[in-house]
Amino acid sequence: MTDQIKIKSALISVYSKDGIEELARTLESFGIAIYSTGGTFDFLTGKGISATSIESVTSYPSILGGRVKTLHPKIFGGILWRRNQLTDVEDIEKYEIPSIDLVIVDLYPFEKTVATTNNDEEIIEKIDVGGISLIRAAAKNFKHVVVVPSAELYSSLLQTLRKNHGVTSLADRKLFAAHAFNVSSHYDTQIFNYFNREEYINVFRQSIPTATPMRYGENPHQAATFYGDLKRVFTQLHGKELSYNNLVDVDAAIQFIGEFTEPTVAIIKHTNPCGVASRSTLLRAYLDALACDPVSAFGGIIIANGVIKKDIAEEINNLFFEILIADNFEIDALEILKSKKNRIILQKNSFTFSKRQFKSLLNGVIDQNKDMKTEHISEFQYVTEIKPSAEESEALIFANKIVKHLKSNTIVLIKERQLIGCGMGQTSRVDALRQAIIKAQAFGFSTIGSVMASDAFFPFADCVEIANEAGVTAVIQPGGSIRDVDSIRYCNEHNMSMVFTGIRHFKH
């Protein structure tokens, strides 16, 4: 058997008719006989393209409201027969089964239907049975048959046919078969995940068909690929191609800014917010966020939850930064920001993120619910004799939103809806607090009258002792230590207020 096979017949069964006319006319030009199903047959013949209906081959009409059209031995025999097997040749001749050398399918849009309706009956009807069976059969018999499993591959088939005058090689057919199993496995994964929404079956199964190769990974010697559709999350308005590290920071920035409704600007460095402020205007918020830590802001990621206007653009333009993300940009602001060709400017799209996250770990994958919890004042557990004032309570909530997004161990110091100091990624909570105080003082902030948030409980009273010496007046922490009473006692003795949330916010 030669690996070069000339296509003589094709079966076309497609949901979407986009692009199929050009493909069918090309098949006709090479003298390839076309078989097609109901809707596809009507479309092709309506365009003046010669085709034979499946019904005339099987002598059975489409039944059950279109649920059964191609599921017949005369169709699958024509696809699956092995041209070099004598018994298969005898069966084909005996039962007068027409040979099919090319199968072209475009499946029912199950995934799109799930995304656009909650109607279970409509969704179920979009589970393709015949089409997926045709794809698998043709892919299995790739040594003899070409399979085109989706409209995205029409151009590849056209290129192959035109280049080789209707002839395919074994390598061509095997590549199309690989695409076919990619399409079918993704399709089945979407169906499984729909039926397993309540996670009755505890397995990890994900399929992401869109891939974007990165220039490199976390470091230049590491290869990397992003799987997903970035255009759904943001629109890039300017700048160079995003890197692996850029994407990690962009994700952290977008997740973080979602905590705030008032005009807020955050500056992110290596996924950690190093400058945050909420103000009446974005301009004021940016200036105060930058003041938090202007050193770390260099080369960072800036994100704002509003429209970037000319006034804030002029200020931002004075800073060297990697990426700016906002809900929108005024034209004159963009002109200013585009003055540096490599700056990445992203317009954030409205997008609902998954509530779950996963990553590779050891010899498998670990999956968990995202930390979606944002505490409210009504949930405070008042554990000290003095309660925080209304102003302090608001500041504690603000602090807790930030501490949730910093690497553990972490401590945050806040004054008037502005981050004034933070310590993160430390091996002890005491070190994180000392780092926060040093950072605040280094950039001219007084910690007197500030509030403090911790991502986890205090195992000893040392943190509230150090905080009191720095002038902190109110504390928010999860609580839960066997020595909570020591921290509470110290706060009572030194007129500090402290609230527990019962919620830990570790981040690794």
| DSSP per-residue codes, 443-476 | TT---TT-EEEESS--SSTHHHHHHHHTT--EEE
Could you say which DSSP state residue 68 is in?
A: B
Amino acid 10: pLDDT: 96
Residue with tokens 């079956």: 201
| pLDDT above 80 for 408 | yes
Amino acid 2: pLDDT: 62
| pLDDT above 90 for 54 | no
Torsion on CA atoms 258, 259, 263, 267, rounded to nearest 10: -80
Per-residue pLDDT, averaged over 34-41, amounts to: 90
Amino acid 491: pLDDT: 98
Confidence of residue 359 (pLDDT cuts 50, 70, 90): very high
The residue length of the chain stands at: 508
* Cα–Cα dist 306/326, whole Å: 6
Confidence of residue 63 (pLDDT cuts 50, 70, 90): confident
Percentage of residues in the chain with pLDDT exceeding 90?
88
pLDDT digits (tens, 9 = 90+) for 209-265: 899 999 899 999 999 999 999 999 999 999 999 999 999 999 999 999 999 999 999
Confidence of residue 64 (pLDDT cuts 50, 70, 90): confident
| pLDDT above 90 for 55 | no
Least confident stretch, 162-176, 193-207, 302-316, 387-401: 193-207
Per-residue pLDDT, averaged over 117-141, amounts to: 93
The tokens of 56 are what?
């005339």
Amino acid 69: pLDDT: 75
* Cα–Cα dist 199/188, whole Å: 16
Confidence of residue 60 (pLDDT cuts 50, 70, 90): confident
Active site residues: 140, 270
| pLDDT above 90 for 70 | no
The tokens of 497 are what?
């207020």
Could you say which DSSP state residue 359 is in?
A: E
- Pair 64, 31: CB distance under 8 Å: no
| pLDDT above 80 for 371 | yes
| pLDDT above 80 for 65 | no
Amino acid 71: pLDDT: 81
- Pair 500, 387: CB distance under 8 Å: no
Please give the mean pLDDT across all residues of the chain: 94
Per-residue pLDDT, averaged over 491-504, amounts to: 97
H-run or E-run covering 115: helix 110-116
Handedness of CA 240, 241, 244, 246 (dihedral sign): positive
Q: Tell me the Cα Rg of the chain.
A: 31
Could you say which DSSP state residue 58 is in?
A: H
| pLDDT above 70 for 169 | yes
Least confident stretch, 21-35, 58-72, 344-358: 58-72
pLDDT digits (tens, 9 = 90+) for 1-34: 568 889 999 999 999 999 999 999 999 999 999 9
DSSP-derived 3-state class of residue 282? helix
Amino acid 200: pLDDT: 84
